[in-house]
Structure 1
Amino acid sequence: MIKKLLLTPGPIELTPAVRQSLVANSIGHLSPTFTTTFQNALNNTKRLFKTTNGQPIIISGSGTLGWDLFGSNVVNRNDSILLISTGFFSDSFASCLTGYGAKVDKLDAIPGHIVPLKTIQEKLQKNNYKAVVMTQVDTSTAVLNDVQGISQLVKEFSPNSFVVVDGVCSIGCEVFEFDNWNIDYCLTASQKAIGAPPGLSISMVSPRLLKYVMNERDTTDQVTSFYLSFKKWLPIMESCIQGKPSYFATPPVQLILSLDVALKELLDATPRGLDERIEKSSKTSDWFKQQLTKELGLKMIPQDPQYTAHGLTTIYVENPADLIKFLADNGVFIAGPMLKSIPPYARVGHMGVSAWDNDNNQHITRCYELLREYCTTKSKV
């Protein structure tokens, strides 16, 4: 029987402990047991983002909901926002903010590349932006943005602008420092490098942004959301992080239980915790990419290793559907292309347990072996 491996760029393979947490007996969302679990998850989320001052918000939803959280709570009509686009999800974030009335000034990277810092600096020097928005890793291209470098530019040339990051495909497998990089808002989701099932929108909010939302924002002529309101959720999160049960809308209890387990595995299961997990993910990514390029002669998007994600690999292939079917027939599931502006390509995810436990599980090794078989077969046709 063929072992099936999910190597898409999310959702990802779950560890046995996380899977087991999903079949635990149901508990009440106001029970002491759940309150303690949620408290642990919230505190560990702060550790994950590397922040002491940030406010975590964990609610039902996908990573996409994080865009709406920012749009509904921060964006007013005609706000000027600079958005740095490196692919499909960056563009979608722009569409979301436009829907809230923002005037989005979009800087488009050449497909498979980043927007040069000099270009961003020129924009910041010419315009006043309420926020500068970027995707740390765009899952459609595997481009890794220089979030730290961009944030430094904002601090120097546009210090009043909020720095906003989509970290859905980066948090847990890329270096990210919320406090040290002066980030104001970062969103992610449970089903990628964090290693939990889909269904949780996870955000981190800076004190500066919270002050604006809670005390300074004028919403007189702005339509806002009831469910997504920071003013509704903040007291809940603050209460739970203090170990006190609180209620606004019923949380997904089983998913929070699984998140708690996944975060402990990510942060505490190794001597150096998160840093060690990220280093291991990078090592697995580097090995996989080197095998594909040096041994199989494949080309990747992007080609500059400095701006290449460590949680997924994108490779040019003549017929992505054929490759995907071949791998699926052998129990390995990857993803196809998302952008028509780039020649045909496929995407292989290696986040969470598939990356940091590859020596034992051999997930990525198995994928490489099948890719080698596929390439060898095609070369003989």
Structure 2
Amino acid sequence: MTATGRHYHAIPGPSVIPDRVLNAMHRASPDIYGGELHEMMTGLYEDLKRLARTKHHVAVYIANGHGAWEAATTNLFSPGDHALALVTGRFGEGWAQAAEALGVTVQRLDFGRRDPVDPDAVAKALAEDRGGTIKVVLMSHVDTTTSVRNDPAAVRAAIDRVGHPAILAVDCIASLGCDVFEMDAWGVDVMVCASQKGMMTPPGLGFVWLNDRALQAGAGARWRTPYWDWTLRIEAKQFYHRFGGTAPTHHLFGLRAALDMLIHEEGIEAAWRRHERLARAVWTAFDAWGEDAGKASGIGLNVADPACRSHAVTSVRFAAPLATDIRRWTQAHAGVTLGIGLGMAPEGDPAADGFMRVAHMGHVNTHMTLGVLGAIETAMAALAIPHGTGALSRAAAVLA
């Protein structure tokens, strides 16, 4: 057995939490009515805006990503409202279902599990909405399940091209801090995220960034409740009301440490470049494994076009059940946990055992990524799974 030692979860969230973040949270409860916690909040909000590349507003919730969906949805919609959901994976469908559960009428454009959103299809659907009933376009920047990366700027251009008044709302839960994202420059009105992926903080914080156009569009939203109301969180004079009650104190201290690392030390542009490089190393390895003998094992990247692949997570396929066999081996014998192929086949379908996800998001570097790739190759050797050669040396060359 060689799994003894620090285990590494190469799953797409919760991601690796830096020791500095854990240490910042390891403290006694603070005063929630004044002092250090209050003093750090102005800078924290400003850094959250820097992360999203916006000059507008941000609301912070005690919630996960599903809570961030609900916060955005309840602040934007009223009974009888309509949305257009652009689906490229399970979580794009998930946001659509969450909106429907609240009573929104949702029209879907489903682009499958391997291809990005087609802006021309969006333009066509909106052009056909001559009465302007569609209030919001919902989309994922990156869908965690498929690793498809979409282009919000192109979707905004499609909306504007046909003169439609729809708000553009983007889920960046899998991508923020990893893939390039420019909220204001791309014309995004609402963006949601959660703390446990590229933001390098434990699960428990949900975020909604919004501009004045979104504030105006949601001014009369009748599904808004006191807890989810984003106007209270961005306009409240009292600290207590900015969180709908007691603040998530220790998460905020951890988030402060994470943003110090990401914004002020590494810099967000450098973080984008790091994730892009680590992603290319992973893609290069799987391309090599899929050559020659690897064709018999069905090894390949889920997304064919590199320009449409996430820099935070990579979804890959094998002939079933090889992906599950590899995941079980690396967890038991190498101390590495890989992501399941979530949403790539119906639940209970044996085909699901042919997919896995490799995360390279957040607090991740060269030796961690090469270690994961080495564990996967070792598993294939141990399980006698045919694969192409030279993967590790090619990945190393990308990172050299």
TM-score of the superposition, structure 1-length normalised? 0.91
1:197 corresponds to: 202
Aligned residue type for 2:227: Y
Corresponding position: 1:302 with 2:303: yes
List alignment gaps of at least 5 residues for structure 1: none
Structure 2 residue identity aligned to 1:21 = A
Name the residue aligned to 2:224: 224
Task: Note the alpha carbon deviations across 1:254-283, whole angstroms, 9 max, x for none.
Answer: 00110111011111113xx10011111100
Give the CA deviation at 1:245. Answer: 9.1
What does residue 89 of structure 1 align with?
91
1:88-146: CA deviations, max 9, x gaps? 11111001111222111100012211232221111121112211110011111000011
The reply on whether 1:285 has 2:279 as its aligned counterpart is yes
Which position in structure 1 is the counterpart of 2:42?
39
C-alpha RMSD over aligned residues: 1.9
Q: 1:250 is matched by which residue type in structure 2?
A: T
Identify unmatched segments of 5+ residues in structure 2: 292-298, 387-400
Q: Name the CA distance, whole Å, in 1 between partners of 2:76 and 2:385.
A: 57
In the TM superposition, what is the alpha-carbon distance from 1:159 to its structure 2 partner? 4.1
Q: Are 2:174 and 1:172 aligned?
A: no
Partner of 1:212: 217
Q: Distance in 2 between matches of 1:29 and 1:45?
A: 20
Measure how far apart 1:41 and its partner are.
1.6
Which residue is equivalent to 2:389? none
Give the match for residue 312 of structure 2: 311
Match of 1:371? 376
- The answer to whether 1:331 aligns with 2:338 is no
Query: Is 1:32–1:245's contact at 8 Å kept on the other side of the alignment?
Result: no
Deviation beyond 4 Å, 4+ runs, structure 1: 244-247
**In structure 2, what residue type is equivalent to 1:338?**
L
TM-score normalised by length of structure 2: 0.86
Q: Hey, what does 2:107 align to over in structure 1?
A: 105
How far apart are 1:379 and its partner, in Å? 3.3
Letter in 1 for 2:98: C
Give the counterpart of 1:347 among 351, 357, 364.
357
Q: How far 1:375 sits from its partner (Å)?
A: 1.9
Residue number in structure 1 paired with 2:22: 19
Deviation of the 1:192 alpha carbon: 0.2
Give the Cα separation in 2 of the matches to 1:313 and 1:81. 29
How big is the shift at 1:239? 5.9
Measured in 2, the distance between the counterparts of 1:234 and 1:149 equals 29
In structure 2, C-alpha distance between the alignment counterparts of 1:185 and 1:176, rounded to whole Å: 13
Corresponding position of 2:118: 116
Mapped pair 1:262 → 2:258: yes
Q: 1:57 aligns with which of 56, 59, 69?
A: 59
Shift in Å at residue 30 of structure 1? 2.0
CA contact (8 A) 1:6 1:332 kept: yes
How many residues are treated as equivalent by the alignment?
364
Write the distance in 1 (CA, Å) between the matches of 2:241 and 2:96: 36
Shift of 1:247: 6.7
| Counterpart AA for 2:50 | R
Task: Provide the rounded CA distance (Å) in 1 between the counterparts of 2:281 and 2:336.
Answer: 18
Q: Contact 2:326–2:380 at 8 Å: present in 1 too?
A: no
Distance 1:247 1:90 in 2: 27
Counterpart Cα distance in 1 of 2:257 and 2:202: 11
> Does residue 11 of structure 2 align to residue 8 of structure 1?
yes
Cα distance in 1 for residues equivalent to 2:326 and 2:163? 46
Is 2:331 the counterpart of 1:321? no
Does structure 2 retain, via aligned residues, the 8 Å contact 1:142–1:313? yes
1:3 Cα deviation (Å)?
A: 2.2
Q: Output one character per residue of 1:17-76: Cα deviation in whole Å (capped at 9) or x when no partner.
A: 111112023212222200122222211000000011x21111100011111112211111
CA displacement 1:238-263 (0-9 Å, x = unmatched)? 666xxx99674111100011011101
The residue type paired with residue 228 of structure 1 is: W
Alignment match of 2:270 (pick from 264, 269, 276)? 276
Contact 1:37–1:256 (Cα < 8 Å) also in 2: no
Structure 1 residue 209, shift from structure 2 partner: 1.1
Tell me: CA distance 1:380–1:115, structure 2 relative to 1, closer, same or farther (3 Å): closer
Equivalents in 1 of 2:311, 2:188: separation in Å?
21
